[in-house]
Amino acid sequence: MAQAPSTAETPGVEGQYSNIGTSGAPQPRDSSRENSSESSDGQFRRDLLIAAVAVVGIAVHLLLRFGVGGRALVQNVPLYNVPLFVVLLFGGLPLVLHLIQKSLAREFGSDLLAGISIVASALMGQYLVGSIVVLMLSGGTVLEGFATRRASSVLEALSKRMPQTAHRKKEGGIDDIKAAEIAIGDVLVVFPHEICPVDGVVVEGQGRMNEAYLTGEPFETSKTEGAEVISGAVNGETAMAVRATRLPIDSRYARIMRVMQETQAHRPKLRRLGDMLGAWYTPLAVAIALCSWIGSGESQRFLAVLVIATPCPLLLAIPVAIIGAISLSARRSIIIKNQAVLEQVGTCTTLIFDKTGTLTYGRPALTEILCAAGVDESDVLRAAASIERYSRHPLARAILDAASRKNLPLDPVLKMSEAQGEGLRGVVGERQVWITGRKKVAGMGAQLPEIASGLECVIFLDGQYAATFRFHDVPRAGGRSFVEHLKPRHRVSRVLLVSGDRDSEVRYLAGLMGISEIHSSKSPEEKVEIVRRETSLAKTLFVGDGINDAPAMQAATVGVAFGMTSDITAEAADAVVLDASLDKVDELMHIGRRMRSIALLSAVGGMGLSVIGMVAASLGYLPPISGAIAQEVIDLVVVLNAVRAALPFDRMTDF
């Protein structure tokens, strides 16, 4: 089986894993997300161009008006107004048309009032005022767009991870075939360190595979003849022959892709902070403007009110606060991929955690040594560690670490063998040492302890049962204090542990962390259903690190990728914590809450000052151009306040 091809070898999401529909049969390529991404990029480029045109147009207008030759006429129109016409035609008109489309779709936000101001300014001959509003409206969008731009797709990353070719075994050799040509019953060779292309059964060879990203199991699993393997698993050190039991489009990995596809298509749209405030501010401003026009009979007052009411605190201050928080997060090793996260993360009251690699380190540790009568714990640990230093078994490192912590010296090994499925045998000093599994000694009459959670191995010294070693996934330091501080510090009402791991393992960790609500042995599809159900009840924050967590991240209000263990998981997340530390999750929550409070202060304070200006304009004390200048002063004040979101603050973690 070939390794995952490079980007150059796999254009877009073409290939076997790109034609996966919800029915499990080949489907036409779904371009909805691509079109959405292209539309977003196109809108950003459009707003950037409009902002540039507005800046140049206003600058040229001022130069002509107050410079030499600016009083000349072109078709009875002052020359200095021509640049403003360009701004309103090529900048204002597209913005207004876009706002009309949003209004027809019943999307009323803070930018609607700015659109009304542009139209009113043009109709009343206040071209400079209208051009300034165009700059305000497009500039705020561009500022936010510069801060975060997502360049790739989750589905594309999923597709690129899978190999596009396979090694099919035949008489006398091996043929390389396309993944799409794999049929049920084909025997495929999976070489060391390659990704398994299909679900199947091992028919030749022995080894280990890493299925953690897909199943949630934290350890490599041993594979021998008759063992099931799943697509997407990474093979270990030895080649194995696998008989395909499902087509690639029906495999476990393909099901994850289908869940991701469906989750993306139905992800709820978050209502942004600016739009929520604009929903009541816009009708208030229009009402004051109409009342001033009707009461005075002067259309200039209508325009003056609209100009000073232009929601620049929403259009500028909130994006500036978001940009500042994104910058601060980046300096703290937190990458914000979706700026709406910063508005939402501080309001999430339900936190959902994956187990492996999130609340644990994803590696085994020796947690218990149960010795037979008369056997010294240090003696058996020393013997086991002495021989395990030559083993590649995933539990070998855990035994060596335990011996190192106890400062036990290691003895010379005179002889060693490690046959697959038989365990580890050797001569340490003058003693015969055998380390194996429970099943291998079931008929030998050894008095073994009862089966419990975690992994285990049994140790025999000189043919006699000596001890049972038990292993668990290592819990993260500070995990319990982090969980316990969520309710008092972040007003979190519920904490859930959702994992694909075995029930005994999930319950063991939940007890250590103080989590009472658990869901174990859950597939990616079941995780999505749990997250959707919880999100329908309250805002949710999901933290995970594996490929099997990616669909659930998309279903949550906020999805956080814990570390950079998978490009696919990082792509699906709204935020990525580069340093796999619960401290960073806490910092993200604090940064988001502080950003929200600063943005609200800037927006509400700015709107309050604008309301005072609106009253003055409605009484005739502020003409349109003076209103525009007054609005710029207000903008300066609220933007300076919003910049505080970029500054570090005390107690970014509090557990």
| Consecutive 10-residue averages of pLDDT for the chain (655 residues) | 35 38 37 47 78 88 74 71 89 86 73 76 77 76 55 52 84 87 93 90 87 64 83 87 89 70 54 63 80 82 74 68 87 85 91 91 90 93 92 86 93 84 86 90 82 88 93 90 94 94 88 94 89 95 86 91 76 85 94 91 81 81 72 77 87 83
Q: What's residue 604's pLDDT?
A: 82
SS3 label, residue 363: strand
d(CA 87, CA 54): 5
Contact in structure between 545 and 552 (CB atoms under 8 Å): no
Q: Is 251 helix (H, G, I), strand (E, B) or coil?
A: coil
Length of the chain: 655
Distance CA 632, CA 88 (A): 19
The pLDDT of residue 423: 84
pLDDT at residue 156 in the model: 57
Q: What is the 3-state secondary structure (H, E, C) of 267-283?
A: CCCCCCHHHHHHHHHHH
Give DSSP secondary structure letters for 44-60. HHHHHHHHHHHHHHHHH
Indicate if the alpha-carbon torsion angle 401, 405, 406, 410 is positive or negative: positive
Strands (E), 372-487: 413-417, 424-428, 431-436, 455-461, 464-475
The per-residue pLDDT for 529 is 93
The strand pairing partners of 518, in sequence order, are 497
Say whether domain 326-360+477-592 belongs to CATH 3.40.50.300: no
Residue of 84, 177, 82, 171 lying closest to 134 (CA atoms): 84
CA distance 578 to 575: 9
287 in Cβ contact with 254 (< 8 Å): no
End-to-end Cα distance, the chain: 47
Q: Which helix (H) or strand (E) holds 518?
A: strand 517-519
**CATH no. for 361-475:** 3.40.1110.10
Q: How far apart are CA 50 and CA 138, in angstroms?
A: 6
Neighbours of 605 (CB within 10 A): 16
Sequential DSSP letters for 638-652: HHHHHGGGGS--S-S
Q: Report the C-alpha gap between 303 and 117 in whole angstroms.
A: 7
Where do runs of H (alpha helix) occur along 332-461?
340-344, 377-388, 396-405
Q: What is the pLDDT of residue 628?
A: 66
* One-letter identity of residue 38: E
Instruction: Map out the domains of the chain as residue ranges.
Output: 326-360+477-592, 361-475
Q: Is 373 left (phi over 0), alpha (psi -120 to 50) or beta?
A: beta
Beta bridge partners of residue 370, listed in sequence order = 468
C-beta of residue 133 within 8 angstroms of C-beta of residue 58 = no
